[in-house]
Structure 1
Amino acid sequence: MFIASNIFIFYITYIIKVKYPININITKRNKVNNFKSPLNIDIISIIYGSLLGDAYAEKRSEGKATRIVFYQESSHDDYLLYLHSLIANLGYCNTTIPKITTRLVKNGKIRKVISFSTWSYDLFNSIHDKWYIPNPIKGRSNFIKIIPKDLELNLTPLALAIWIMDDGSKVGKGLKLSTNSFTHDELLFLISILKNKYNLTCSIQSAGTNNQQHIYIWVESMANLVNIVKPYIIPSMKYKFGNYM
Protein backbone atom coordinates (compact mmCIF):
# COMPACT_ATOMS: atom_id res chain seq x y z
CA MET A 1 0.00 0.00 0.00
CA PHE A 2 1.22 3.48 -0.85
CA ILE A 3 1.99 5.60 2.22
CA ALA A 4 2.29 9.34 1.72
CA SER A 5 5.38 11.05 3.03
CA ASN A 6 5.05 12.68 6.43
CA ILE A 7 6.16 15.93 4.81
CA PHE A 8 3.28 15.96 2.32
CA ILE A 9 0.70 15.00 4.95
CA PHE A 10 2.01 17.83 7.14
CA TYR A 11 1.79 20.16 4.14
CA ILE A 12 -1.85 19.25 3.44
CA THR A 13 -2.75 19.48 7.13
CA TYR A 14 -1.20 22.95 7.23
CA ILE A 15 -3.19 24.06 4.20
CA ILE A 16 -6.43 22.76 5.71
CA LYS A 17 -5.82 24.48 9.05
CA VAL A 18 -5.07 27.89 7.59
CA LYS A 19 -7.80 27.78 4.93
CA TYR A 20 -5.95 26.97 1.73
CA PRO A 21 -3.14 29.54 1.47
CA ILE A 22 -1.02 29.87 -1.66
CA ASN A 23 2.58 30.39 -0.66
CA ILE A 24 3.89 31.44 -4.08
CA ASN A 25 2.77 34.06 -6.58
CA ILE A 26 2.99 32.86 -10.17
CA THR A 27 0.36 34.23 -12.56
CA LYS A 28 2.19 33.91 -15.88
CA ARG A 29 3.27 30.75 -17.64
CA ASN A 30 6.74 32.10 -18.49
CA LYS A 31 7.58 32.24 -14.79
CA VAL A 32 7.31 28.48 -14.44
CA ASN A 33 10.44 26.33 -14.71
CA ASN A 34 9.01 22.84 -14.15
CA PHE A 35 7.88 22.02 -17.69
CA LYS A 36 10.54 19.35 -18.16
CA SER A 37 10.76 18.12 -14.57
CA PRO A 38 9.44 14.57 -13.97
CA LEU A 39 5.96 14.45 -12.48
CA ASN A 40 6.03 13.43 -8.82
CA ILE A 41 3.52 11.13 -7.14
CA ASP A 42 1.66 14.03 -5.53
CA ILE A 43 0.58 15.75 -8.76
CA ILE A 44 -0.10 12.39 -10.42
CA SER A 45 -2.31 11.39 -7.46
CA ILE A 46 -4.26 14.63 -7.62
CA ILE A 47 -4.80 14.29 -11.37
CA TYR A 48 -5.78 10.60 -11.24
CA GLY A 49 -8.21 11.14 -8.39
CA SER A 50 -9.75 14.12 -10.18
CA LEU A 51 -10.06 12.33 -13.53
CA LEU A 52 -12.02 9.58 -11.81
CA GLY A 53 -14.47 12.38 -11.02
CA ASP A 54 -15.46 15.47 -12.98
CA ALA A 55 -12.07 16.74 -14.14
CA TYR A 56 -10.92 16.16 -17.70
CA ALA A 57 -7.67 16.23 -19.64
CA GLU A 58 -7.78 18.52 -22.66
CA LYS A 59 -5.51 18.10 -25.66
CA ARG A 60 -6.60 20.70 -28.16
CA SER A 61 -4.88 19.17 -31.20
CA GLU A 62 -2.44 16.43 -32.16
CA GLY A 63 1.11 17.18 -31.13
CA LYS A 64 0.04 19.83 -28.62
CA ALA A 65 0.49 19.78 -24.87
CA THR A 66 -2.28 18.71 -22.46
CA ARG A 67 -3.89 20.62 -19.63
CA ILE A 68 -6.11 19.32 -16.81
CA VAL A 69 -9.39 21.15 -16.21
CA PHE A 70 -11.11 21.03 -12.80
CA TYR A 71 -14.63 22.24 -12.04
CA GLN A 72 -17.35 21.95 -9.42
CA GLU A 73 -20.68 23.56 -8.72
CA SER A 74 -20.31 26.61 -6.48
CA SER A 75 -21.83 24.72 -3.54
CA HIS A 76 -18.54 22.81 -3.48
CA ASP A 77 -16.30 25.84 -3.97
CA ASP A 78 -14.48 25.11 -0.71
CA TYR A 79 -13.21 21.82 -2.12
CA LEU A 80 -12.15 23.33 -5.44
CA LEU A 81 -10.26 26.12 -3.69
CA TYR A 82 -8.47 23.48 -1.63
CA LEU A 83 -7.61 21.56 -4.79
CA HIS A 84 -6.41 24.74 -6.46
CA SER A 85 -4.17 25.55 -3.50
CA LEU A 86 -2.54 22.11 -3.68
CA ILE A 87 -1.86 22.35 -7.41
CA ALA A 88 -0.78 26.01 -7.28
CA ASN A 89 1.67 25.31 -4.47
CA LEU A 90 3.08 22.41 -6.46
CA GLY A 91 3.66 24.92 -9.29
CA TYR A 92 1.33 23.53 -11.98
CA CYS A 93 -1.24 26.30 -12.38
CA ASN A 94 -1.88 30.01 -12.16
CA THR A 95 -1.99 31.09 -8.51
CA THR A 96 -4.86 33.53 -9.06
CA ILE A 97 -7.85 32.38 -6.97
CA PRO A 98 -10.63 30.93 -9.19
CA LYS A 99 -13.89 32.87 -9.32
CA ILE A 100 -17.48 31.67 -9.48
CA THR A 101 -19.07 31.93 -12.92
CA THR A 102 -22.44 30.91 -14.39
CA ARG A 103 -23.46 28.62 -17.23
CA LEU A 104 -26.74 27.74 -18.90
CA VAL A 105 -27.87 24.12 -18.47
CA LYS A 106 -30.91 22.09 -19.51
CA ASN A 107 -34.38 23.63 -19.13
CA GLY A 108 -32.88 27.10 -19.29
CA LYS A 109 -31.59 26.97 -15.74
CA ILE A 110 -28.49 28.89 -14.73
CA ARG A 111 -25.93 27.04 -12.65
CA LYS A 112 -23.07 28.58 -10.70
CA VAL A 113 -19.74 26.83 -11.19
CA ILE A 114 -16.14 27.35 -10.21
CA SER A 115 -13.27 26.06 -12.32
CA PHE A 116 -9.58 26.34 -13.11
CA SER A 117 -7.01 24.51 -15.21
CA THR A 118 -3.35 23.65 -15.07
CA TRP A 119 -0.94 25.07 -17.55
CA SER A 120 -0.43 22.88 -20.62
CA TYR A 121 2.37 20.35 -20.28
CA ASP A 122 3.93 17.91 -22.71
CA LEU A 123 4.39 15.71 -19.65
CA PHE A 124 0.60 15.48 -19.31
CA ASN A 125 0.28 13.99 -22.81
CA SER A 126 1.04 10.51 -21.47
CA ILE A 127 -1.78 10.92 -18.93
CA HIS A 128 -4.17 11.93 -21.73
CA ASP A 129 -3.10 8.92 -23.80
CA LYS A 130 -3.81 6.56 -20.88
CA TRP A 131 -7.17 8.06 -19.97
CA TYR A 132 -8.70 8.70 -23.40
CA ILE A 133 -9.40 6.89 -26.65
CA PRO A 134 -10.69 8.44 -29.92
CA ASN A 135 -14.47 8.62 -30.15
CA PRO A 136 -15.64 6.62 -33.20
CA ILE A 137 -18.96 8.51 -33.31
CA LYS A 138 -18.73 11.64 -35.42
CA GLY A 139 -20.36 14.82 -34.23
CA ARG A 140 -19.57 14.15 -30.57
CA SER A 141 -16.58 14.71 -28.33
CA ASN A 142 -13.31 13.75 -29.98
CA PHE A 143 -12.35 11.48 -27.09
CA ILE A 144 -13.93 9.06 -24.61
CA LYS A 145 -12.62 8.84 -21.05
CA ILE A 146 -11.60 5.33 -19.96
CA ILE A 147 -10.03 3.77 -16.87
CA PRO A 148 -6.26 3.53 -17.43
CA LYS A 149 -4.44 0.23 -17.00
CA ASP A 150 -1.99 1.75 -14.51
CA LEU A 151 -4.70 2.99 -12.15
CA GLU A 152 -3.83 0.56 -9.36
CA LEU A 153 -0.29 1.94 -9.21
CA ASN A 154 -1.50 5.54 -9.01
CA LEU A 155 -4.66 5.17 -6.91
CA THR A 156 -2.84 6.35 -3.80
CA PRO A 157 -4.64 7.33 -0.58
CA LEU A 158 -4.46 10.95 -1.76
CA ALA A 159 -5.97 10.01 -5.15
CA LEU A 160 -8.71 8.02 -3.41
CA ALA A 161 -9.50 10.96 -1.12
CA ILE A 162 -9.69 13.34 -4.09
CA TRP A 163 -12.00 10.94 -5.93
CA ILE A 164 -14.35 10.72 -2.95
CA MET A 165 -14.41 14.48 -2.34
CA ASP A 166 -15.02 15.06 -6.05
CA ASP A 167 -17.62 12.41 -6.81
CA GLY A 168 -18.57 10.57 -3.62
CA SER A 169 -21.78 10.85 -1.65
CA LYS A 170 -23.19 9.38 1.55
CA VAL A 171 -25.83 6.68 1.02
CA GLY A 172 -27.22 5.23 4.22
CA LYS A 173 -24.21 4.19 6.27
CA GLY A 174 -22.09 3.50 3.20
CA LEU A 175 -20.65 5.65 0.40
CA LYS A 176 -21.44 5.91 -3.30
CA LEU A 177 -18.96 6.80 -6.02
CA SER A 178 -20.59 8.23 -9.14
CA THR A 179 -19.11 6.29 -12.04
CA ASN A 180 -21.91 6.74 -14.58
CA SER A 181 -19.60 7.45 -17.51
CA PHE A 182 -17.63 4.21 -17.22
CA THR A 183 -18.55 0.76 -18.54
CA HIS A 184 -19.56 -2.23 -16.43
CA ASP A 185 -16.23 -3.94 -17.13
CA GLU A 186 -14.39 -0.81 -16.04
CA LEU A 187 -16.36 -0.77 -12.78
CA LEU A 188 -15.40 -4.39 -12.17
CA PHE A 189 -11.78 -3.34 -12.65
CA LEU A 190 -12.23 -0.44 -10.22
CA ILE A 191 -13.77 -2.52 -7.44
CA SER A 192 -11.04 -5.15 -7.88
CA ILE A 193 -8.42 -2.43 -7.29
CA LEU A 194 -10.26 -1.14 -4.22
CA LYS A 195 -10.40 -4.68 -2.84
CA ASN A 196 -6.87 -5.78 -3.73
CA LYS A 197 -5.11 -2.57 -2.72
CA TYR A 198 -7.17 -1.34 0.23
CA ASN A 199 -9.34 -4.30 1.26
CA LEU A 200 -12.51 -2.31 0.60
CA THR A 201 -15.61 -4.35 -0.14
CA CYS A 202 -17.66 -2.75 -2.91
CA SER A 203 -20.48 -3.60 -5.27
CA ILE A 204 -21.91 -2.22 -8.49
CA GLN A 205 -25.40 -0.74 -8.31
CA SER A 206 -27.78 0.77 -10.83
CA ALA A 207 -27.76 4.56 -11.00
CA GLY A 208 -31.44 4.54 -11.98
CA THR A 209 -30.77 5.21 -15.67
CA ASN A 210 -30.14 2.73 -18.47
CA ASN A 211 -26.48 1.75 -18.83
CA GLN A 212 -25.41 3.89 -15.88
CA GLN A 213 -24.07 2.42 -12.66
CA HIS A 214 -22.21 3.50 -9.57
CA ILE A 215 -19.89 1.87 -7.05
CA TYR A 216 -21.11 1.39 -3.49
CA ILE A 217 -18.61 0.96 -0.65
CA TRP A 218 -20.12 -1.30 1.98
CA VAL A 219 -20.73 -0.23 5.56
CA GLU A 220 -18.30 -2.89 6.76
CA SER A 221 -15.46 -1.09 4.94
CA MET A 222 -16.20 2.46 6.04
CA ALA A 223 -13.94 2.47 9.12
CA ASN A 224 -11.06 1.13 7.02
CA LEU A 225 -11.76 3.70 4.29
CA VAL A 226 -11.68 6.59 6.77
CA ASN A 227 -8.38 5.35 8.17
CA ILE A 228 -6.90 5.47 4.64
CA VAL A 229 -8.11 8.88 3.47
CA LYS A 230 -8.61 10.90 6.67
CA PRO A 231 -5.35 12.94 6.44
CA TYR A 232 -6.51 14.45 3.14
CA ILE A 233 -10.21 15.17 3.74
CA ILE A 234 -11.11 18.82 4.26
CA PRO A 235 -13.66 19.67 7.00
CA SER A 236 -16.48 20.56 4.59
CA MET A 237 -16.28 17.08 3.01
CA LYS A 238 -16.35 15.01 6.21
CA TYR A 239 -20.14 14.73 6.02
CA LYS A 240 -19.72 12.17 3.25
CA PHE A 241 -18.39 9.70 5.82
CA GLY A 242 -21.24 10.05 8.32
CA ASN A 243 -20.34 9.12 11.88
CA TYR A 244 -17.16 7.36 10.80
CA MET A 245 -15.15 10.63 10.63
Structure 2
Amino acid sequence: MNINPKTNPQRDAVLLAQQTRVVGPNSALMRNYKDSLPNLDLFQLGLCVGVLLGDAAIAPNQAVTQLTHRLKFEWGGKNQEYAQHVYDMLSLYCLTGLRTQVRVNAKNNEVTTWCFQTVSVPAFNILAIAFLSGGKKVLDIHALADMITPVSLAYWFMDDGGSVMNNRYTLHLHTQGFTHEEVLALCGILKNKFDLDCWVGSKASKKHKPFIVISGHSYTKFFQLVAPHIIPSMRYKFPTGSRTQWQD
Protein backbone atom coordinates (compact mmCIF):
# COMPACT_ATOMS: atom_id res chain seq x y z
CA MET A 1 0.00 0.00 0.00
CA ASN A 2 1.27 3.43 -0.92
CA ILE A 3 1.74 5.76 2.05
CA ASN A 4 1.68 9.39 0.99
CA PRO A 5 4.14 11.63 2.90
CA LYS A 6 2.34 13.93 5.30
CA THR A 7 4.53 16.98 4.73
CA ASN A 8 6.82 18.72 2.32
CA PRO A 9 8.94 21.84 2.96
CA GLN A 10 6.51 24.20 1.21
CA ARG A 11 3.57 22.80 3.17
CA ASP A 12 5.54 23.08 6.41
CA ALA A 13 6.27 26.73 5.66
CA VAL A 14 2.57 27.53 5.20
CA LEU A 15 1.58 25.66 8.36
CA LEU A 16 4.27 27.45 10.37
CA ALA A 17 3.21 30.87 9.07
CA GLN A 18 -0.46 30.11 9.82
CA GLN A 19 0.38 29.85 13.50
CA THR A 20 0.91 33.62 13.68
CA ARG A 21 -0.99 35.15 10.77
CA VAL A 22 -3.46 34.56 7.98
CA VAL A 23 -1.78 33.24 4.84
CA GLY A 24 -3.67 34.60 1.86
CA PRO A 25 -4.62 32.35 -1.06
CA ASN A 26 -2.51 34.42 -3.45
CA SER A 27 0.50 34.81 -1.17
CA ALA A 28 3.92 33.64 -2.32
CA LEU A 29 3.94 30.99 0.41
CA MET A 30 0.64 29.54 -0.76
CA ARG A 31 1.60 29.65 -4.43
CA ASN A 32 4.90 27.91 -3.71
CA TYR A 33 3.10 25.20 -1.74
CA LYS A 34 0.46 24.54 -4.41
CA ASP A 35 3.05 24.60 -7.20
CA SER A 36 5.05 21.95 -5.33
CA LEU A 37 2.17 19.46 -5.26
CA PRO A 38 2.53 16.53 -7.66
CA ASN A 39 -0.17 14.86 -9.69
CA LEU A 40 -1.94 12.00 -7.96
CA ASP A 41 -0.13 8.69 -8.22
CA LEU A 42 -2.04 5.64 -9.41
CA PHE A 43 -2.92 4.52 -5.89
CA GLN A 44 -4.20 7.95 -4.87
CA LEU A 45 -6.16 8.28 -8.11
CA GLY A 46 -7.79 4.89 -7.56
CA LEU A 47 -8.62 5.82 -3.97
CA CYS A 48 -10.19 9.13 -5.02
CA VAL A 49 -12.29 7.45 -7.71
CA GLY A 50 -13.57 4.99 -5.11
CA VAL A 51 -14.53 7.56 -2.48
CA LEU A 52 -16.15 9.80 -5.09
CA LEU A 53 -18.29 6.83 -6.13
CA GLY A 54 -19.18 6.88 -2.44
CA ASP A 55 -20.05 10.04 -0.53
CA ALA A 56 -17.07 12.32 -1.21
CA ALA A 57 -17.62 15.54 -3.14
CA ILE A 58 -15.58 17.49 -5.69
CA ALA A 59 -15.90 21.26 -6.12
CA PRO A 60 -14.40 23.72 -8.62
CA ASN A 61 -12.49 26.87 -7.81
CA GLN A 62 -12.32 29.23 -10.78
CA ALA A 63 -9.13 31.18 -10.17
CA VAL A 64 -8.00 34.08 -12.30
CA THR A 65 -5.43 32.02 -14.17
CA GLN A 66 -6.75 28.44 -14.12
CA LEU A 67 -9.55 26.14 -13.04
CA THR A 68 -8.70 23.90 -10.11
CA HIS A 69 -10.67 21.52 -7.88
CA ARG A 70 -10.77 20.40 -4.27
CA LEU A 71 -12.20 17.30 -2.58
CA LYS A 72 -14.48 17.25 0.46
CA PHE A 73 -14.97 14.26 2.76
CA GLU A 74 -17.36 13.41 5.57
CA TRP A 75 -18.01 10.15 7.44
CA GLY A 76 -20.11 9.03 10.39
CA GLY A 77 -18.71 9.27 13.89
CA LYS A 78 -17.95 5.53 14.09
CA ASN A 79 -15.58 5.68 11.13
CA GLN A 80 -12.72 7.62 12.68
CA GLU A 81 -10.02 5.07 11.78
CA TYR A 82 -11.13 4.94 8.15
CA ALA A 83 -11.41 8.74 7.98
CA GLN A 84 -7.90 9.08 9.41
CA HIS A 85 -6.59 6.54 6.91
CA VAL A 86 -8.02 8.41 3.90
CA TYR A 87 -6.70 11.68 5.31
CA ASP A 88 -3.22 10.18 5.69
CA MET A 89 -3.27 9.07 2.05
CA LEU A 90 -4.07 12.62 0.88
CA SER A 91 -2.62 14.79 3.65
CA LEU A 92 0.00 16.33 1.37
CA TYR A 93 -2.91 18.15 -0.30
CA CYS A 94 -4.40 19.40 3.00
CA LEU A 95 -3.62 22.41 5.19
CA THR A 96 -6.08 21.47 7.92
CA GLY A 97 -6.38 18.21 9.78
CA LEU A 98 -9.15 15.70 10.21
CA ARG A 99 -11.80 17.21 12.50
CA THR A 100 -15.20 16.48 13.97
CA GLN A 101 -18.33 18.49 13.35
CA VAL A 102 -21.81 18.34 14.81
CA ARG A 103 -24.76 18.91 12.50
CA VAL A 104 -28.44 18.08 12.16
CA ASN A 105 -29.22 15.38 9.57
CA ALA A 106 -32.21 15.00 7.26
CA LYS A 107 -34.14 13.22 10.03
CA ASN A 108 -33.58 16.22 12.33
CA ASN A 109 -31.18 14.25 14.52
CA GLU A 110 -27.94 15.73 15.81
CA VAL A 111 -24.98 13.71 14.54
CA THR A 112 -21.21 13.93 14.88
CA THR A 113 -19.12 13.32 11.78
CA TRP A 114 -15.47 13.27 10.74
CA CYS A 115 -14.51 15.54 7.88
CA PHE A 116 -11.69 17.25 6.00
CA GLN A 117 -11.09 18.90 2.66
CA THR A 118 -8.10 19.35 0.38
CA VAL A 119 -6.77 22.54 -1.12
CA SER A 120 -7.88 23.38 -4.65
CA VAL A 121 -5.18 22.34 -7.12
CA PRO A 122 -4.85 21.05 -10.71
CA ALA A 123 -4.03 17.54 -9.42
CA PHE A 124 -7.76 16.93 -8.92
CA ASN A 125 -8.86 18.20 -12.33
CA ILE A 126 -8.69 14.70 -13.81
CA LEU A 127 -11.39 13.63 -11.34
CA ALA A 128 -13.67 16.46 -12.42
CA ILE A 129 -13.75 14.97 -15.91
CA ALA A 130 -15.34 11.81 -14.50
CA PHE A 131 -17.51 13.25 -11.73
CA LEU A 132 -18.53 16.85 -12.42
CA SER A 133 -20.75 18.52 -14.99
CA GLY A 134 -22.32 21.94 -14.68
CA GLY A 135 -21.23 22.13 -11.06
CA LYS A 136 -23.13 18.93 -10.16
CA LYS A 137 -21.94 15.40 -9.39
CA VAL A 138 -22.60 13.58 -12.67
CA LEU A 139 -20.83 10.44 -13.86
CA ASP A 140 -18.91 10.34 -17.13
CA ILE A 141 -19.09 6.60 -17.71
CA HIS A 142 -16.54 6.58 -20.53
CA ALA A 143 -13.94 8.25 -18.32
CA LEU A 144 -14.76 6.00 -15.36
CA ALA A 145 -14.40 2.85 -17.45
CA ASP A 146 -10.69 3.64 -17.74
CA MET A 147 -10.23 4.98 -14.20
CA ILE A 148 -11.88 2.34 -11.97
CA THR A 149 -9.28 -0.09 -10.58
CA PRO A 150 -9.25 -2.72 -7.81
CA VAL A 151 -8.13 0.07 -5.46
CA SER A 152 -11.22 2.04 -6.51
CA LEU A 153 -13.45 -0.97 -5.83
CA ALA A 154 -11.94 -1.37 -2.36
CA TYR A 155 -12.50 2.24 -1.32
CA TRP A 156 -15.92 2.34 -2.93
CA PHE A 157 -16.90 -0.70 -0.89
CA MET A 158 -15.39 0.65 2.35
CA ASP A 159 -17.23 3.93 1.75
CA ASP A 160 -20.61 2.65 0.61
CA GLY A 161 -20.73 -1.14 0.49
CA GLY A 162 -21.93 -3.99 2.64
CA SER A 163 -23.08 -7.59 2.75
CA VAL A 164 -26.65 -8.88 2.64
CA MET A 165 -27.64 -10.56 5.89
CA ASN A 166 -30.04 -13.13 4.46
CA ASN A 167 -27.78 -14.08 1.52
CA ARG A 168 -24.37 -14.83 2.90
CA TYR A 169 -22.01 -13.81 0.12
CA THR A 170 -24.15 -11.33 -1.80
CA LEU A 171 -22.87 -7.75 -1.61
CA HIS A 172 -24.39 -4.31 -2.13
CA LEU A 173 -22.88 -1.03 -3.33
CA HIS A 174 -25.16 1.79 -2.23
CA THR A 175 -25.43 4.01 -5.29
CA GLN A 176 -28.77 5.63 -4.49
CA GLY A 177 -27.31 9.09 -5.15
CA PHE A 178 -26.91 8.32 -8.86
CA THR A 179 -29.51 7.93 -11.60
CA HIS A 180 -30.77 4.53 -12.71
CA GLU A 181 -28.95 4.99 -16.03
CA GLU A 182 -25.67 5.79 -14.27
CA VAL A 183 -25.96 2.78 -11.97
CA LEU A 184 -26.79 0.52 -14.90
CA ALA A 185 -23.67 1.79 -16.67
CA LEU A 186 -21.57 1.19 -13.54
CA CYS A 187 -22.81 -2.40 -13.53
CA GLY A 188 -21.63 -2.66 -17.11
CA ILE A 189 -18.12 -1.58 -16.06
CA LEU A 190 -18.05 -4.13 -13.24
CA LYS A 191 -19.14 -6.88 -15.63
CA ASN A 192 -16.90 -5.98 -18.56
CA LYS A 193 -13.76 -4.94 -16.68
CA PHE A 194 -13.80 -7.30 -13.68
CA ASP A 195 -16.13 -10.11 -14.83
CA LEU A 196 -18.43 -9.60 -11.84
CA ASP A 197 -22.00 -10.88 -11.96
CA CYS A 198 -24.06 -7.89 -10.81
CA TRP A 199 -27.32 -6.05 -11.44
CA VAL A 200 -29.33 -3.01 -10.39
CA GLY A 201 -31.61 -3.48 -7.40
CA SER A 202 -34.16 -1.26 -5.67
CA LYS A 203 -36.41 -1.35 -2.60
CA ALA A 204 -39.72 0.33 -1.88
CA SER A 205 -38.36 1.23 1.57
CA LYS A 206 -35.58 3.20 -0.15
CA LYS A 207 -37.97 4.98 -2.53
CA HIS A 208 -36.88 2.61 -5.32
CA LYS A 209 -33.53 4.36 -5.64
CA PRO A 210 -30.99 2.13 -7.45
CA PHE A 211 -28.18 0.19 -5.84
CA ILE A 212 -25.77 -2.44 -7.18
CA VAL A 213 -26.10 -6.08 -6.19
CA ILE A 214 -23.01 -8.27 -6.62
CA SER A 215 -23.94 -11.95 -6.81
CA GLY A 216 -22.55 -14.38 -4.26
CA HIS A 217 -21.23 -16.35 -7.25
CA SER A 218 -18.76 -13.48 -7.81
CA TYR A 219 -17.86 -13.03 -4.14
CA THR A 220 -14.50 -14.81 -4.27
CA LYS A 221 -13.44 -12.86 -7.34
CA PHE A 222 -14.50 -9.54 -5.77
CA PHE A 223 -12.81 -10.37 -2.47
CA GLN A 224 -9.53 -11.23 -4.19
CA LEU A 225 -9.60 -7.93 -6.06
CA VAL A 226 -10.16 -5.70 -3.03
CA ALA A 227 -8.77 -7.58 -0.01
CA PRO A 228 -5.19 -6.20 -0.29
CA HIS A 229 -6.56 -2.67 0.10
CA ILE A 230 -9.13 -3.14 2.90
CA ILE A 231 -8.02 -1.67 6.23
CA PRO A 232 -8.64 -3.81 9.34
CA SER A 233 -11.38 -1.60 10.81
CA MET A 234 -13.50 -2.05 7.67
CA ARG A 235 -13.33 -5.85 7.48
CA TYR A 236 -16.61 -6.06 9.38
CA LYS A 237 -18.39 -5.16 6.13
CA PHE A 238 -17.53 -8.59 4.69
CA PRO A 239 -19.34 -11.81 5.58
CA THR A 240 -17.54 -14.32 7.76
CA GLY A 241 -16.93 -17.78 6.36
CA SER A 242 -14.57 -19.98 4.42
CA ARG A 243 -14.51 -17.66 1.39
CA THR A 244 -13.27 -14.68 3.41
CA GLN A 245 -9.60 -15.30 4.15
CA TRP A 246 -7.57 -12.26 5.26
CA GLN A 247 -3.81 -12.28 4.76
CA ASP A 248 -2.30 -10.36 7.70
Say whether the fold is shared (TM-score over 0.5): yes
CA contact (8 A) 1:180 1:207 kept: no
- Distance across 2 between alignment mates of 1:103 and 1:127: 28
Deviation track 1:4-42 (CA, whole Å, cap 9, x = no partner) reads xxxxx3x46xx9xxxxxx65374635545534x443222
Letter in 2 for 1:159: S
Q: Which runs of 5+ in 2 are unaligned?
A: 15-29
Greater CA drift, 71-80 or 159-168: 71-80
Q: 1:207 to 1:56 in 2, by over 3 A?
A: farther
8 A Cα contact 2:70 2:119, kept in partner: yes
Distance 1:31 1:133 in 2: 28
Query: For the Cα contact (< 8 Å) 1:132–1:145, is it kept in 2?
Result: yes
**Structure 1 residue 223 corresponds to structure 2 residue 225:** no
TM-aligned CA distance change 1:43 to 1:168, over 3 Å? same
Q: Which amino acid aligns with 2:36?
A: N
Quick check: 1:72–1:80 contact (8 Å CA) kept in 2?
Answer: yes
TM-score of the aligned structures, taking structure 2 as reference length: 0.78
Supply the distance in 2 between the matched residues of 1:106 and 1:184 (Cα, whole angstroms). Answer: 23
CA contact (8 A) 2:69 2:128 kept: yes
State the aligned residue count: 217
The answer to whether the 8 Å contact 2:34/2:121 transfers is no
Query: Alpha-carbon deviation of 1:238?
Result: 0.8
Return the match for 1:83 from 83, 86, 93.
Answer: 86
2:183 to 181, 187, 205: 187
CA distance in 2, matches of 1:154, 1:126: 10
Q: Which consecutive residues of structure 1, in runs of 5 or more, have no partner in the other structure?
A: 1-8, 16-21, 135-141
Displacement of 1:147: 4.2
Same amino acid, percent of matched pairs: 29
In the alignment, which residue of structure 2 is the partner of 1:34?
Answer: 36
- The change in CA–CA distance for 1:106 and 1:182 in structure 2 (over 3 A counts) is closer
Task: Give the Cα–Cα distance (whole angstroms) in 2 for the partners of residues 228 and 144 of structure 1.
Answer: 27
TM-score, normalised relative to structure 1: 0.79
Q: Secondary structure at the match of 2:93?
A: coil
Q: Does structure 2 conserve the Cα–Cα contact (< 8 Å) formed by 1:131 and 1:148?
A: no
Do residues 199 (structure 1) and 205 (structure 2) align? no
Cα deviation 1:50-84 (Å, max 9, x = unaligned):
11000010114475421011110111111111111
Moved more, 119-128 or 214-223: 119-128
Aligned to 2:239, the other structure's residue is in SS state: helix
For residue 164 of structure 1, what is the aligned residue in structure 2? 157
Matched residue, 1:6: none
1:95-174 correspondence runs (5 A)? 97-134=97-134, 142-172=135-165, 173=168, 174=170
Query: Structure 1 residues 192, 99: CA separation in 2 closer, same or farther (over 3 Å shift)?
Result: same
The code of the aligned residue for 1:162 comes to Y
Contact 1:191 1:202 in 2 (8 A): yes
Q: Is the 8 A contact 2:141 2:182 kept in 1?
A: no
C-alpha distance 122-24 of structure 1, shift in aligned 2 (>3 A): closer
Aligned equivalents of 1:185, 1:108: Cα separation in 2: 31
SS in 2 for 1:160: helix
1:185 deviates by 1.8
- 1:24 matched to 2:7? The reply is yes
CA-CA distance at 1:180 after TM superposition: 0.6
Residues 1:73 and 2:69 aligned together: no
Matches of 1:79 and 1:38, distance apart in 2: 23
Aligned to 2:230: 233
| Corresponding residue number in structure 1 for 2:209 | 212
Aligned twin of 1:54: 55
